[in-house]
A and B are shown apart, each in its own frame.
Chain A
Amino acid sequence: MNKTVNQKAWFLILPVLLLVAFSAVIPLMTVVNYAFQDTFGNNKFFWAGLDWFRDMLESERMWDALGRQIAFSSIILAIEIPLGVFVALNMPKRGFWASLCLVLMSLPLLIPWNVVGTIWQIFGRVDIGLLGYTLDALGIDYNYTQGFYAAWATIIVMDVWHWTSLVALLAYAGLQSIPDAYYQAAKIDQASRWKVFRFIELPKMMGVLMIAILLRFMDSFMIYTEPFVVTGGGPGNSTTLLSIDLVKMALGQFDLGPAAAFSIMYYLVILLISYVFYTVMTNLDKREDS
């Protein structure tokens, strides 16, 4: 059968193109322009060449923030992915309790970032917060405004509390799509619980788990509001993650040039990692199809 080739439908995406131009392309171009210039305000710019990029590449502050960011993202991924899978495996499969679990699990996902930050900020306070007060009463030295470990523990537990449900819900959806025949076959072969997980459930969940990892990585790598509300990047600079440092530089110190150079590099890193994940994901799908 000969199909007529007609590409006119592409014109229908013009409105989206226009929207993306204004919301992403033009701001991004402006950031690139800023990265090569210096300004003292008043819309007067001076050519600075590659100086800001060189400064940023040599800046200890940026590498430290990047290190903290990588540590943060790795820690939360290492906790949230196995925990989410564990929760999904133990959730009821059908009936009233399954629905109740789903509703309870989605609750944290519906709370805005700044509210999550405020909840944990109060929850962890030693004078009025349940968590801080209890830990203090138990004799544990916990103060997220002064202690390095306490601050890190707080923002990590907060993120785990906020986002593990997303992983769990995705993994649960993956589990639900496995036909019963697989489990019956495993039973006939007298496969152990671990073998069922390793050779049936995990491979079938791989696709959604990759999406979960990608989403959680991206989100945590760009995280700003929650740690900013809880610790404000402190004590000292110990929880100053990349975006917090970037905002400090761009809006706090009004160093538009360095901040622009910094954000372009930040963007490139996110682009690279997302592309790798995306490629792995689409190739997994293709392998499953064939």
Chain B
Amino acid sequence: MEWMAWTWPTAVFFMIIATTLVVFTILAIKFPETPRTGVLRIETTRGDRLFITLLGSAFINLAWLGLLSSPQWGALIVSFCYAVAVFRWV
């Protein structure tokens, strides 16, 4: 494992991602859903919305880092609002 050069922050990051995936899998089994069409006019399931959220958050964080010199947790707040919006309207 040493060659993978693990650090606590990156390990925590991956643990959060893995936990989210497990939670969403359990949700999908316990509470099956039908896809719905939102503002993007595409059919999405919870999994799709999670993917859009994660990918969008990555870009929000990069944009924050590149354009602003404010601390990075600001981007996390924006990402969180984005996530709520995606799960509500997409």
Residues on A close to B: CB < 8 A?
7, 26, 29-30, 32-34, 36-37, 39, 43, 45, 47, 50, 53-54, 57-58, 265, 268, 271-272, 275, 279, 283, 286
Interface size of B by CB at 8 A reads: 21
4 interchain residue pairs of minimum CB distance: A57-B66, A33-B5, A45-B5, A30-B4
* CA–CA, A53 and B10, complex, Å: 14
Q: Contact at A57–B5, with CB atoms within 8 Å?
A: no
Most chain A CB atoms below 10 A, which of B4, B9, B42: B4
Please count the residue pairs between chain A and chain B whose beta carbons lie under 8 angstroms apart in the complex: 53
A36:B7 contact, CB within 8 angstroms: yes
The 0/1 profile, CB within 8 Å of A marked 1, for residues 38-79 of chain B is 000011000000010001001100100110000010000000
**Interface of B, helix, strand, loop or mixed by DSSP:** helix
Q: How many whole Å from A11's CB to the nearest CB in chain B?
A: 14
**Chain B residues at the A interface, C-beta cutoff of 8 Å:** 2-7, 9-10, 13-14, 29, 42-43, 51, 55, 58-59, 62, 65-66, 72
B14: chain A residues within 8 A (beta carbon) = 29, 32
A127 to chain B, nearest CB (A): 47
Q: How far is the CA of A30 from the CA of B5 in the complex (A)?
A: 7
Known: A33-B5, A286-B43. 9 other contacts (CB 8 A): A26-B4, A29-B10, A29-B14, A32-B14, A33-B7, A36-B10, A37-B5, A268-B55, A283-B43
